[in-house]
Chain A
Amino acid sequence: GENVEQHPSTLSVQEGDSAVIKCTYSDSASNYFPWYKQELGKRPQLIIDIRSNVGEKKDQRIAVTLNKTAKHFSLHITETQPEDSAVYFCAATARGNTPLVFGKGTRLSVIA
């Protein structure tokens, strides 16, 4: 089955700097890669996703890149702000009726 590894487990950046979180996956059939943000005491919320027919997707300050050959994808946050502080989870799946497989999460701290 699918296995998703996420790095780093913790990340601290200065406000205004960029943050990058990387995930690798094992199943070459995986074709959907979402990212979730979870603020303290809240539910995980979908912030951006990418499908395998696209190499990059942007939404304002966040972007996701996908390298299918190397089987890894990354979340990029530019101009970080204190409200970006949260735990971020990546995930992958090969089919719509199979559950997402999540990475273990990255705790991002943005220092003002």
Chain B
Amino acid sequence: NAGVTQTPKFRVLKTGQSMTLLCAQDMNHEYMYWYRQDPGMGLRLIHYSVGEGTTAKGEVPDGYNVSRLKKQNFLLGLESAAPSQTSVYFCASGQAYEQYFGPGTRLTVT
């Protein structure tokens, strides 16, 4: 039981490049979330999903897209990376109220 995993752990992008972050969970959770964490800003919700095939916008969705084609996976896409998207990205999953976080992806956009 791996819990919540994220791929990759680190990535450096140039401005304008695209990439996809993968979140996977093996706990059969219905809900999945993507957050970004910046110094002094806490955890800010980007997008979330309440079930397979559903997605919804969070607090800071601009510049990101998501997909939940399979219950266990939640993908976060950056179509055209900007330096403002330099951050640590955390995925989380949960069945009801509790949320369990993945180890994070550190993304740098130069």
Residues of A within 8 A of B100 (CB): 46
A34, B97: Cβ atoms closer than 8 Å: yes
Q: A34-B98, A93-B97, A96-B96 are in contact. List 18 more A-B contacts (CB 8 A).
A: A42-B103, A43-B90, A43-B104, A44-B43, A44-B90, A44-B101, A46-B98, A49-B98, A89-B42, A97-B30, A99-B33, A99-B45, A99-B58, A102-B42, A104-B40, A104-B41, A104-B42, A105-B42
B97→A43 contact, CB < 8 A: no
**Residue ranges of B at the interface with A (Cβ–Cβ < 8 Å):** 30-31, 33, 40-43, 45, 48, 50, 58, 90, 96-104
Check A32/B97 contact, CB under 8 A, given A44-B90, A99-B48.
yes
Give the A-B contact count at a CB cut-off of 8 A. Answer: 41
Please give the number of chain A residues whose Cβ is less than 8 angstroms from any Cβ of chain B in the complex: 20
Prevailing SS type, chain A contact patch: loop
Complex Cα gap A68–B96 (Å): 21
Asked if B42 and A96 sit within 8 Å, CB to CB, the answer is no
Closest to B4 in A: A43
Complex formed: what's the CA distance from A89 to B99 in Å? 13
